[in-house]
Structures are given as structure tokens and as C-alpha cells.
Amino acid sequence: MFGAELGRGVRTYPSTFVYFPWNLKVGDYSSFGEWVLVYNLGRVTIGNRVTISQRAHLCAGTHDYRVPTMPLLKLPIEIEDDAWICADAFIGPNVRVGARAIVAARGVVVKDAPADTIVGGNPARKIKAREA
């Protein structure tokens, strides 16, 4: 585990790639699909019962383009309980995906996705509320 904090029943494929395991915290019964990429320069926190589908990319690093030297920024990502990150989705740095939110396939999330919403597109926008 190389320093990752993993809850009970976490499932992952061997093809899942985590850059810095010590910057990863995963709650109980969450799962990672095939070829998920966790580029966790900053802390990535994943709640309970979260599904990260195949080829999703969680990117917790960027550069400050406003500064001529473009310094590296290591910003966190938080994905709250019962969220679903669908296939090929991109979650950018300093983003929170709220509880029970769904990020549609190939969605590009660069701003927070509120709880109980379905977001998609590039950049991701609210598609509709998630019904219980």
C-alpha cells in the first residue's frame, strides 16, 4: 500500500495507477475500474462506496499560469460518499465532487460538482438533479 489509507473492501484493478500512494485516502467499499489514473500530487480523498470507472483521471496537480515561472501547485481532490465517476471522466485539481453526485462519461470537472447532481460535458455542467 506504500502509505495509502484504504478502508475495508476497497477494490481495484492491477492496471490502476496511483502516483503517490501516501497522498491517497479511500473509504470503505469504494472501487477503481481498469486503467484509472490517480495523479495525486495533492491529497486525493475518496469517500465510502465511491465508484471510479475505467480510464477516469483524477489530476491533483497543475501550474500557476499567472506567474512567469509557472510554479507547480499541488491541490486536493475530494470525492464524497456514494459518488460515481463514470468512464473517461477527468477530475481536476481543487475540486470536490459532492455526495451521491454523478460525473457523466468523459465529463471534465474543473469546478465543484454539488451533492445529488449529475454533471457532464467539457467543462462539466449540471445536467439534472439526481433523484433518490
- Residue 90: which CATH number? 2.160.10.10
Total of domains in the chain:
1
Beta strands in 27-98 (DSSP E): 31-32, 37-39, 44-46, 51-52, 57-59, 62-63, 72-73, 77-79, 84-85, 90-91, 95-97
Domain range enclosing 117: 5-129
CB 53 within 8 A of CB 85: yes
Question: What's the confidence (pLDDT) of residue 47?
Answer: 98
Residue 53 phi/psi, 5-degree rounding, is: -75, 170
Sites in the chain below the pLDDT cut of 50? none
Cell of 55: 480510464
Question: What's the confidence (pLDDT) of residue 2?
Answer: 82
Question: What's the confidence (pLDDT) of residue 34?
Answer: 98
Options 1, 17, 63, 125, the catalytic residue: 63
> Which of 56, 75, 61 lies closest to 17, judged by CA?
56
Question: What's the confidence (pLDDT) of residue 25?
Answer: 98
CA distance 3 to 77: 18
Q: What is the pTM of this model?
A: 0.95
Q: CA-CA-CA-CA torsion for 128, 77, 121, 37, nearest 10 degrees?
A: -130
Question: What's the confidence (pLDDT) of residue 1?
Answer: 64
Is 57 designated active site?
no
